[in-house]
């Protein structure tokens, strides 16, 4: 009976023992967040830092980073500013000349991310689902109407969110309030005083 009691006690204690990997001499082991790449946009209005979601939109992030690496965004402007919607850039120089772009990429909007305030999304032609190239926009308010809903049409396929602003939301708010007007090739919403992306710089990944 004594032997059976000892065995029973050993089993009970074993059931409540913590797994070896669950703790160390200094305390519990905590899971770490994934390290996402970041890009700094040094603009004439201030510094904006964006975190990029490689796990949710890998091709869109890779496309964006390739344009950053090539220096494509240096010297471009935010050519479309609508205060309660978005600010858009990535294509035009201050004299409104469009920079050459590579072939468009597939739309990754069906990734569970929403076009909320401060998120970064790939701009594309409204009538063509897979037409995003270098242009991007930052949502100045929650724009759930831009989210993926189905593959039934280009409009329903949404705009791919692939990052968010982690520093410089105040700069976004400064840009959204600038005066705008018509300027070829656009009929409206072009800042009167150019907001220039002086440099786009890839930063180290940050957990």
pLDDT tens for residues 167-181?
Answer: 999 999 999 999 999
Q: In the Cβ-directed half-sphere of 40, how many Cα atoms lie within 13 Å?
A: 11
Of 80, 71, 76, 116, nearest to 94 by C-alpha is 76
Concatenate the DSSP letters of all residues of 124-175 into one string: --TT-TT-B-S-EEEESS--GGGS---SSSTTTT---EEEEEEE-HHHHHHH
- The domains of the chain, with CATH numbers, are 36-206 (2.40.100.10)
pLDDT tops 90 at residue 104: yes
pTM of the model: 0.83
Of 16, 104, 117, nearest to 60 by C-alpha is 104
pLDDT at 34: 62
pLDDT tops 60 at residue 9: no
Quick one: pLDDT band at residue 206, thresholds 50, 70, 90?
low
pLDDT tops 60 at residue 12: no
pLDDT tops 80 at residue 14: no
Cβ atoms within 10 A of the Cβ of 197, count?
Answer: 20
Average pLDDT (111-136) is: 97
d(CA 91, CA 94): 10
d(CA 53, CA 14): 41
Average pLDDT (26-52) is: 81
Alpha helix ranges (H) inside the chain: 2-16, 58-69, 169-176
Tens of pLDDT, residue by residue over 66-91, are 999 999 999 999 999 999 999 999 99
Look at the alpha carbons of 64, 180, 75, 39 in this order and tell me if their dihedral is positive or negative. Answer: negative
pLDDT at 145: 97
pLDDT tops 60 at residue 109: yes
Mean pLDDT of the chain: 87
């Amino acid at each position: 009976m004594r032997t059976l009691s000892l065995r029973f006690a050993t089993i009970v204690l074993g059931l409540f023992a913590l797994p070896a990997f669950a703790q160390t001499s200094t305390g519990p082991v905590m899971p770490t967040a994934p390290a996402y790449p970041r890009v700094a946009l040094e603009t004439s209005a201030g510094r904006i830092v964006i975190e990029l979601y490689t796990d949710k939109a890998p091709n869109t992030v890779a496309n964006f980073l390739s344009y950053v690496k090539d220096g494509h965004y240096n010297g471009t402007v935010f050519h479309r500013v609508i205060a309660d919607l978005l600010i858009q850039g990535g294509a035009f120089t201050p004299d409104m000349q469009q920079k050459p772009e590579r072939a468009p990429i597939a739309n990754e909007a069906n990734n569970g991310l929403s076009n909320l305030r401060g998120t970064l999304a790939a701009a594309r032609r409204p009538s063509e689902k897979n037409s995003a190239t270098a242009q991007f926009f930052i949502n100045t308010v929650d724009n759930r109407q831009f989210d993926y809903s189905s593959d039934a049409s280009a409009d329903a396929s949404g705009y791919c969110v692939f990052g968010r602003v982690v520093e410089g939301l105040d700069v976004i708010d400064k840009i959204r309030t600038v005066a705008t007007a018509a300027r070829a090739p656009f009929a409206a919403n072009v800042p009167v005083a150019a907001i220039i992306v002086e440099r786009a710089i890839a930063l180290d990944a940050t957990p």
